[in-house]
């Protein structure tokens, strides 16, 4: 089985030792100790493990590490820059958009992908894009509000 020996994560290159078939989630969590991406279902149905691959949201639990060895991977740990929270992270805090927060990493990563492709999403667009992310505590309305708020802040930042 081919081995993968390096991975680009959060703008840094890390040595790893994994079979190409191993899930990206397992490598991130167990080899790089990046545990912010969570296991929730193992079948790409809950979104708790969402990371960005070259800026696109992917369920790392069903992504084989061999398919992303030369790609840029961003996890929740890579969102904060220079001690400053990403506007989405701040907006989630401001909106109180969490309870147990186990889904929060995946929610924020999915939302960051959404705002990259659609900086000013409508509520139906947010709902459609985020449908694959589950929050069992039921904070969906607050998450929608947080995404809208972050979009607003990011827009102001650009103008």
Partner 1 sequence: MSDLSGLNGKTFDRVTHVDLEPERYELQSPSSYHFDPVELDRREFFRILGGGIVVACVLKDASAFQQSQGQSRGESGGRRGGGFDERLPQEISAWLHIGGDGVVTVYTGKVEVGQNARTALTQAVAEELRVAPRDIRMVMGDTNLTPFDMGTFGSRTTPTMNPQLRRASAAALDVLMGLAADAWKVDRSKLAAADGKITDPASARTVSYGELAKGKQLAEAIPAEDPLTPAARWTVMGESLPKVDGRDFVTGKHRYPSDITLPGMLHGKVLRPLSFGATLASLDTHEAEAVPGVTVVHDGDFVGVAAPSVEIAARALAAIHAEWKPNPVANPVPQPSSRDLFDYLRKNPEQAAGQGGFGGRSDHQAGDMEKGLADASQRLRQTYTIAYIAHAPLEPRAAVARWENGKLTVWTGTQRPFGVRGELMEAFRLSESQVRVEMPDTGSGYGGKHTGESAVEAARLAKAAGKPVKLVWTREEEFTWAYFRPAGVIDVAGGARSDGTITAWEFHNYNSGGSGIGTPYDVANQHIQFHPTKSPLRQGSYRALAATANHFARESFMDELAHAVQMDPLDFRLKNLKDERLKAVFQAAAQKFGWDGSKPPEGHGYGIAGGLEKGGYVATCAEVAVDRASGQVRIVRVVTAFDCGAVVNPDQLRNQIEGANVMGIGGALFEAIEFENGRILNGRFSKYRVPRFSDVPQIEVVLVDRKDQPSAGAGESPIMGLAPAVGNAVFNATGVRLRSLPMAPNGLKT
Is residue 154 within the footprint of partner 1 (CB under 8 A)? Answer: no
Asked if 10 and 75 touch (Cβ cutoff 8 Å), the reply is yes
What 3-state class would DSSP assign to 153? helix
Is residue 131 within the footprint of partner 1 (CB under 8 A)? Answer: yes
- Tell me the closest approach of the beta carbon of residue 67 to partner 1, in angstroms: 16
Q: What is the DSSP string of 119-147?
A: SS--HHHHHHHHTT---TT--HHHHHHHH
Is residue 65 within the footprint of partner 1 (CB under 8 A)? Answer: no
Is residue 24 within the footprint of partner 1 (CB under 8 A)? Answer: no
Asked if 31 and 17 touch (Cβ cutoff 8 Å), the reply is yes
Asked if 86 and 77 touch (Cβ cutoff 8 Å), the reply is no
Place of tokens 């708020």: 149
Is residue 20 within the footprint of partner 1 (CB under 8 A)? Answer: no
Stretch of residues binding partner 1 (CB under 8 A), selected from 52-60, 111-119, 136-144, 151-159: 136-144
Q: Say what the alpha-carbon torsion angle 135, 139, 144, 146 is, to the nearest 10 degrees.
A: -110
Is residue 121 within the footprint of partner 1 (CB under 8 A)? Answer: no
Q: Which of residues 72-91 bind partner 1 (CB under 8 A)?
A: 75-77, 79-80, 85, 89-90
- Tell me the closest approach of the beta carbon of residue 50 to partner 1, in angstroms: 11
Locate 15 and state its tokens: 């040595």
Is residue 29 within the footprint of partner 1 (CB under 8 A)? Answer: yes
97/143 Cα distance (integer angstroms): 5
Interface with partner 1 by CB under 8 A: which residues?
A: 19, 22, 26, 29-30, 33-43, 45-46, 48, 75-77, 79-80, 85, 89-90, 92-93, 96, 98-105, 108, 126-128, 130-131, 133-144
């Amino acid at each position: 089985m081919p081995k993968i020996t390096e991975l680009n994560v959060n703008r840094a290159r890390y040595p790893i030792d994994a079979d190409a078939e191993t899930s990206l989630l397992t490598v991130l969590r167990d080899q790089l100790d990046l545990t912010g991406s969570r296991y929730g279902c193992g079948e790409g149905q809950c979104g708790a493990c969402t990371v960005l691959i070259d800026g696109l949201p992917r369920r790392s639990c069903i992504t084989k590490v061999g398919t992303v060895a030369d790609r840029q991977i961003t996890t929740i740990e890579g969102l904060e820059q220079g001690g400053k929270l990403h506007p989405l992270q701040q907006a989630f805090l401001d909106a109180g958009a969490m309870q147990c927060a186990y889904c929060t990493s995946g929610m924020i990563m999915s939302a960051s992908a959404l705002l990259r492709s659609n900086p000013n999403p409508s509520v139906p667009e947010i709902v459609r894009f985020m449908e694959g992310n589950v929050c069992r505590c039921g904070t969906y309305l607050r998450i929608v509000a947080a995404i809208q708020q972050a979009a607003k802040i990011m827009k102001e930042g650009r103008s």
